[in-house]
Amino acid sequence: MEGFEINTFPSENTKKISLIWLIVAGLVIGWVNGFWGGGGGMICVPVLISLLKLPEKSAHATTLLIMLPLSICSFTIYLMKGSVDVKMSIIVGTGFVVGGVLGAILLKNINNVVLRLFFAGVIIAGGVKMLL
């Protein structure tokens, strides 16, 4: 399949990317998020950085936009299957919203190197916890 141009930012050069790679990446990210009910963002950020050459902060912010409708779809399916504790979701969701706002504010002001190290640390810690 031929590549197509994606203009990520007016200040950057236009990149040629294979449409098939973007579709495959989207399928994998969607599957991970749907299968585990989350976690697609941990794949999405590195994909956006490596495949689309997005700056790190833009990759994190873009991931949020990508994950929102995906999470809503996954949530709807889990809700229809009766797998959601609505009361607990409201309580945790309140903290989630506050944390999300604080995280977005912090993302705007954090150094890229610190962001990269923190993100890597979170991924490693999650992997270690899963192994144990």
Tokens of 5: 């141009």
Q: Is the pLDDT of residue 113 over 60?
A: yes
DSSP string, 26-66: HHHHHHHHHHHSS-HHHHHHHHHHHHS---HHHHHHHHHHH
pLDDT number for residue 11: 41
Q: What pTM was computed for the model?
A: 0.65
- CB 32, CB 39: distance < 8 Å: yes
